Amino acid sequence: MTTRTEPDAETAAAPDSRQWAWLADTYWYVPEAYLPAIRQTNLRDARTTTVKDQTVWWIERFENGYLTGRTAISTDGGDFTYYTLLGSVTPDGAVLLSFSPEDASVTSATDAPVTGSGRMVRFQGTWAFLMQMISGANAVAMAHWAYMVQATPDSEAWTSLPGVPEVGAGDVFP
């Protein structure tokens, strides 16, 4: 009979997220096909509608599996709302993100940040985030899943984002 033993802390290989270090100072957006999200208004007569949710991330920093940055969200082509981005990417590519309003005065201290979960995947030959999120708990709630793909200065999205064509990923953050 073979006995399986777990490696002790001294001999176990430490998790290594360095493979994702290239995420530092990168921009990500939602391609056209993945803009639709669902919004539910929870009033006397609950109503569900489809909206276009363009989300742009600027991952400013990545270190030891953790990332920080900024997020901009435009619903149905409207003005962008800005959030801070905090999260982690595990060595195997699991992703967990938190989005908090940049201006804390617009929300109460008891409001929970929006959370998104997903993983790093190969999509159309390159790395992408496959993410899902849900926000809101009272009058309005929204759910969205999408591939987030990288925008670079040589990509069309850098100067013209799907759903908000007059703005590019490179121009979103003031």
Q: What pLDDT, on the 0 to 100 scale, is given for residue 44?
A: 78
Q: What pLDDT, on the 0 to 100 scale, is given for residue 11?
A: 44
pTM above 0.75? yes
Contact 80, 55 (CB under 8 A): no
Average the pLDDT over 104-128 and give the result.
Answer: 81
Q: Is the pLDDT of residue 146 over 50?
A: yes
Half-sphere exposure of 52 (CA within 13 A, CB side): 16
Contact 149, 162 (CB under 8 A): no
Contact 172, 69 (CB under 8 A): no
Lowest mean pLDDT among 38-47, 59-68, 141-150: 38-47
